[in-house]
């Protein structure tokens, strides 16, 4: 029966005496090429999902897989506009009511730019 226990290496550099029963995961070399033309290989398990991109070890740029693995299309979240955010808080009906209310106030000179305020509205004692 194969021994499955990994023994620790003793000080003194004694080699691992027995590797029977220890299975190493199969490896593969995956090639990448960066925009600067640096090519390199990364060792990966054959079971690994090969990333489409890897950071170039020489210049840090993004390198693309030479195995023809394409980057996954990112599911792009549509940008939320102010309008979207507004609709999350109030329905269009509510907004319409608010608009109507504000327009009435505006027309009545209650709100809005000071120079549009009606002169006959609540005069302040000056
Ligand atoms: Zn590079």
Residues with CB under 5 A from ligand 1 (ion): 34, 36, 38, 56, 58-59, 61
Ligand 1 centroid from CA 72, angstroms: 22
Ligand 1 centroid from CA 65, angstroms: 13
Using CA atoms, how far apart are residues 34 and 20, in angstroms rounded to an integer?
Answer: 40
The pTM assigned to this predicted structure is 0.40
Domains and CATH numbers, the chain: 27-65 (2.20.28.270), 82-121 (no CATH)
Residue 67 contacts by C-beta under 8 Å, 6 or more apart in sequence? 30, 31, 50
pLDDT digits (tens, 9 = 90+) for 20-72: 666 667 889 999 999 999 999 999 988 888 899 999 999 999 999 998 777 76
Long-range contacts of 39-47, Cβ-Cβ distance < 8 Å, separation of 24 or more: 39/63, 39/66
* DSSP three-state, residue 92: helix
């Amino acid at each position: 029966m194969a021994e499955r226990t990994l023994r620790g290496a003793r000080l003194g550099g004694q080699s691992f005496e027995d590797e029977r029963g220890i299975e190493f995961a199969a490896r593969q070399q995956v090639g990448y090429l960066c925009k600067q033309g640096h090519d390199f290989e990364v060792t990966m398990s054959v079971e690994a999902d090969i990333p489409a991109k890897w950071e170039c070890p020489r210049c840090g740029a993004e390198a693309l897989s030479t195995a023809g693995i394409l980057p996954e299309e990112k599911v792009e979240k549509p940008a939320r506009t102010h309008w979207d955010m507004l609709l999350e808080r109030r329905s269009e009906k509510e907004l319409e009511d608010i608009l109507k209310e504000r327009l009435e106030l505006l027309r009545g000179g209650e709100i809005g730019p000071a120079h549009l305020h009606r002169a006959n509205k609540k005069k302040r004692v000056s």
